[in-house]
Amino acid sequence: MSFDPIVITWAVLIVVFTIAEAATLGLTSIWFAVGALAGLITAALGFNIIVQIVVFIIVATILIIYTRPIAKKVLRIGKNKTNIDALIGRTGLVVKPIEPQQTGQVKLGGQIWTAKGPGDESFAMDEIVEVLAIEGVKLIVKKNETKN
């Protein structure tokens, strides 16, 4: 039993694109693996190389344009929180009072952070606060709404 070298080439491309995708996990080459599968199918059906390449390009392009944005949104590719972003929403303890338009200090995760409120609020010593945002190395905090 002999195999057509073109069919083998498409099969190798599928494997290469799949391995590249597994190595990067960035949804960059899986679309080409599916396009190569379409090329393999057209080769197995006996179409000439030009048709195979056109099918490969069309399938990969359609998948990239229409399914990549959906897949990125569903899988949250590139949306992992950094260490700093992971602090947003966490609660901390005021260790140096925060006066309106001034900074104080908050203990969060065993570390002392410079902190300020979002407006004209003040925060007393030992008050529990929630992190709203981070500006540079400064926490922006609000009064904690939940009861412990």
CA-based nearest residue to 94, from 86, 84, 102: 102
Q: Which residues pair with 129 in a beta bridge?
A: 92, 143
> What is the distance between the alpha carbons of residues 72 and 63, in angstroms, rounded to a whole number?
12
pLDDT above 70: percentage of residues in the chain: 89
- Are 27 and 17 a contacting pair, CB within 8 Å? no
CA distance 75 to 28: 13
Domains of the chain are 5-75 (no CATH), 85-143 (2.40.50.140)
Q: Is the pLDDT of residue 95 over 90?
A: yes
More confident residue, 65 or 79: 65
pLDDT tens digits, 15-24? 999 999 888 7
pLDDT score of 148 more than 70: no
Q: What is the mean pLDDT of the chain?
A: 86
Supply the pTM of this predicted model. 0.51
